[in-house]
Amino acid sequence: KRAVKNLISDDKWWRTELQEIIKSRKEPYITKEELVRLMEWKLARGKWRPLLNRLRSGNSPEDVIKVSKKAFELADQDAKTSVKDAVKAFSQLACVGPATASGILAIYNPDKFCFMSDEPLEAIKGNRQYTLSYYVSFNEELTQRAERVGLRVEEAEQSLWACAILGFAQATATPPASSKKRKNASEENDEKQSTRKRTR
């Protein structure tokens, strides 16, 4: 059973509090408790997988701090490979793949990283693959699209996710039958008025 009872509060924490917590530290890092909470948020928001026990048992508090410090250091670099390097660094932790790593990095630097959520990933790439190379490609493509409309890449991800959840894509792709009828009636009326003007 999906543990979603804390989803709203965890989502607010992720969006509005976690970045400030991380950056308030002299050397940015996350704690094991924060990593577990982020994983709970990610799993409740998307597809539930039995990863929490392995995440807790497979990572020591010291390892989480050490690895996250290195990942954030890489994320701050200007090198072309910094996105790939930062995400890859987090993979040293048990049960932390590209999607979970992106959830950490997207809130740390939303101008450079987006969260690898299911719906935006499918919208941009056409399907879902959770590999490092696929994330780098997805992040790059979404960054380019975000720049065209003046958004941060993570803002673009959140916009796509909201549209998918609210069903905008389906609604705009296939207008309701009533809408089609109103449009056809309007077009017929325009044609009749145009015919009358020509015959006068």
- Using alpha carbons, select from 69, 45, 154 the residue that is nearest to residue 109: 154
> H or E element: which one contains 195?
helix 177-199
Task: Identify the band that residue 139 occupies on the pLDDT scale cut at 50, 70 and 90.
Answer: very high
Tell me 101's DSSP state.
H
pLDDT, tens digit, 9 for 90 and up, residues 148-165: 999 999 999 999 998 888
Is 87 in contact with 132 (CB distance < 8 Å)?
yes
Rounded mean pLDDT of the chain? Answer: 85
pLDDT, tens digit, 9 for 90 and up, residues 7-55: 889 999 999 999 999 999 999 999 999 999 998 898 888 777 676 777 8
> H or E element: which one contains 158?
helix 153-166
Distance separating alpha carbons of residues 98 and 42, to the nearest angstrom:
12
Q: Report whether pLDDT(137) > 50.
A: yes
Tell me 77's DSSP state.
-
Structure tokens, 22: 């991380």
| More confident position, 177 or 20 | 20
- Dihedral of alpha carbons 122, 125, 128, 134, sign: negative
Distance separating alpha carbons of residues 44 and 27, to the nearest angstrom:
29
Is 127 in contact with 91 (CB distance < 8 Å)?
no
- Using alpha carbons, select from 20, 55, 61 the residue that is nearest to residue 41: 55
Structure tokens, 170: 């389906």
- Residue-level pLDDT at 7: 87
Q: Report whether pLDDT(175) > 50.
A: no
Q: Report whether pLDDT(181) > 60.
A: no
